[in-house]
Amino acid sequence: MNETVTIPAQFNGPPGSGNGGYAAGAFAEFLEGAVEVTLRSPPPLGQQMQVVREENGLVVRGGETLVGEVRPCTLSLDVPDCPDARAVRTAVRRFVEFKKDDFQRCFVCGAERAVGDGLCLRTGPIDGSEIVATEWIPHENFAGTNGLIPQRILWSALDCPGVWSIIRDTGVIMHLGRLTAVVDNDVVAGTPCTVIGWPMGRDGREVYAGTAIYDANVSIPGQAKSVWIDIGKQV
């Protein structure tokens, strides 16, 4: 069976390439449960990519270029408690001064994206904590015909908050190398959520972060661990 996947131009991350979380989530939809996606090259926009199934997962190629490797896995995270609503609102207000990169059109965190066009995750720091957080109400524009939010959108929300917990206000630029996540398939559009991120250490150029989505019942419909690559640049 010839399986393919395409990332529409709306779902960009860095200029000219797909958002890492969205791409990883789109690739992960070919498997079930917790999935590890390693990005080997920038996901192209508007280009049909080939999905090749292997014994233990699959690979995604754009022509001769290896874009991603996808594997089933297990995921166990010690997720921090959800910050209270007042602290999260304060973190969101601090986002403008906190954000110092040039990814203004990023689908997930771009300050120039409108609600319903991007996710508008204005992720800022929680006072006295390593945690960053933002409010998120999944927009109906991203829902399927059943009113539920697709996996790839939930994976997107688990992307950028992780890197913001690492770089904070330093202006350091990092690219997503790997995202390992597990999400529920029953998040309804319009559900008030809180998304958090927290740092999980560093090994050379590789930096690690955790992210989680809390719903209004303080349940966790999505959580992830990410590996970010420090490319040695600052804005």
Q: pLDDT tens for residues 146-166?
A: 999 999 999 999 999 999 999
Mean pLDDT of 158-186: 93
Both tokens assigned to 211: 């992210």
Report pLDDT for 235.
65
Q: Where are the domains of the chain?
A: 3-72, 85-234
Mean pLDDT of 67-91: 97
Report pLDDT for 101.
67
Q: Is the per-residue pLDDT at 13 higher than 80?
A: yes
For 85-234, which CATH superfamily applies?
Answer: Hotdog Thioesterase (3.10.129.10)
**Correct CATH for 3-72 of 3.40.50.720, 2.40.50.100, 3.30.420.40, 3.10.129.10:** 3.10.129.10
Angle at 229 between CA 227 and CA 235, to 5 degrees: 130
Q: pLDDT exceeding 70 applies to what percent of the chain? A: 98
User: Which of 141, 187, 183 has the alpha carbon at shortest distance from 10?
Assistant: 141
Entry pTM = 0.96
Report pLDDT for 189.
97
Both tokens assigned to 176: 């997503």
